[in-house]
Structure 1
Amino acid sequence: MSNNIRIEVSQADLKFVLNKLNGMETKAPGVFRNAVNRTTTQTMRKIRKGRQAYVVSPGAFNAAMDVKRANKTHMVSIITAKDIPHGLKDTKFYKTSSSRKYGVRAKVLKGGLKELVNRNGAKAFYAGVDTGHVGVTHFDVFQRRGSERLPIKKLSGPGVAKMVKSIFKGKNGGEALEPYVLKTLHDEIAAEVAKLV
């Protein structure tokens, strides 16, 4: 799976519908459009429910999601998660806590804070970096690359695209969504055909 989730009709579904709608084949595109769009809506509900395992705010999560719905000529629906990883200081996506003993700890999933220590034992820390503009300083979470004072690197957490991929695969205790999407699509197609026959 890339950053896209495609919901589309298979050849078997096409044959099934055309056999059932004997004499009403012109209604088939509407059947497929309705079934694909309903499946998309139910899949988005499952993805939003899976989002609750993360500390990301609902507004930031929904802003990174894009849904292209099916129509009668293009019977494919595409759910896209379109964002990049953000700095750990971005409170819409992550929660952080700082102490002298542990350094900066971060929380991406609801549960516990994770210590940010690299293989050299360097702890993460808050720092301000000049942006190049007069009087403007950027504050974020950084970590030393080695045992020396410099260089340092900015730490980022996973973006919404990676969160959606984990939700779709059923990681973090959720159910895998691919079998659910296929079953829901077949059920919706059968329900649409039953309305017409």
Structure 2
Amino acid sequence: MITIDADKLKEVEKRLSQYPKQAPVVLSRALNRTATNVKSNASKKAREIYRIKAQDVNKSFKINRASRNNLGASVVSTGGSIGLEKFKTNAREPSAKKPRSFKAAVKKQGSLRTILRGFVANISGVKVFQRTSKKRLPIQRLFGPPVPQMVDNPEVRQFINQQAVETFEKRLDHEIKRVMEGN
């Protein structure tokens, strides 16, 4: 987590000795680049652990950008559970014949696990279901974890925080150099 307080602002103003009024602009640019980087790193690290596509992870993120008047940027992941069909399964299409055992995996480590009475059906798109009894009905749809839960994984969170701090420091130096050189 990166915090911009009065001390950080004064430090940047001091480094920008000739252009102290540019400090909020420099900080907001560095924060915005860091926020974009956090989103891509979160997606990348979550996909290293979970068997999910980038687009399914990325569409859950919203970036609130910083400005010179509001030195605060945030990256928020929202959304509910994701259908199990978005993860790895051994059946992608519904089958007319009696299905073999249905298997699925959410995490990359480990193998596919058997889901008792699981099957794939095309109901407004292909989805994964499970019978709740030995009878034909009722059935329930199966879900994997939501993206916010994937991103909140301790391994992912630690990686994101580490990368955010490094990126912010690099971008801050770059933006200060840019202003000092007159670009």
Q: Does the Cα contact within 8 Å between 1:143 and 1:155 map onto a contact in 2?
A: no
Shift of 1:127: 7.3
TM-score by length of structure 1 reads 0.67
Partner of 1:27: 22
Matches within 5 A, 1:125-164: 125-126=118-119, 140-142=128-130, 144=132, 153-164=140-151
Asked if 1:61 is matched to 2:48, the reply is no
Structure 2: 5+ residue stretches without partners = 92-98
Judge conservation of contact 2:39–2:61 (CA < 8 Å) in 1. Answer: no
2:81 alignment partner, SS class: coil
Deviation of 1:51 after TM superposition, in Å, equals: 4.1
Please tell me whether the aligned partners of residues 47 and 53 of structure 2 are also in contact (alpha carbons under 8 angstroms): no
* C-alpha contact (below 8 Å) 1:7/1:76 kept by paired residues: no
Number of equivalences: 170
CA distance in 2, matches of 1:42, 1:139: 33
- Structure 1's unaligned 5+ residue stretches are 1-5, 117-122
Q: More helix by proportion, 1 or 2?
A: 2
Cα deviations by residue, 1:90-137 (Å, 9 ceiling, x for unpaired)? 3xx21222664xx43212233531334xxxxxx242277xx9xxxx9x
Q: Which residue does the alignment assign to 1:176? A: 159
- CA shift, 1:84, in A, is 0.7
Normalised by the length of structure 2, the TM-score is: 0.72
- Show the counterpart of 1:108: 106
Contact 2:103 2:112 (C-alpha < 8 Å) held by counterparts: yes
- 1:139 Cα deviation from its structure 2 partner: 5.6
CA distance in 2: counterparts of 1:139 and 1:79, whole angstroms: 30
When the two chains are superposed, the root-mean-square deviation of aligned CA atoms in Å is 3.3
Q: Which secondary structure state, in structure 2, belongs to the residue aligned with residue 56 of structure 1?
A: coil
Report Cα offsets for 1:53-82 as digits up to 9, x if no partner.
233223222222221221111121111212
Q: Is the 8 A contact 2:83 2:127 kept in 1?
A: no
Aligned to 2:174: 191
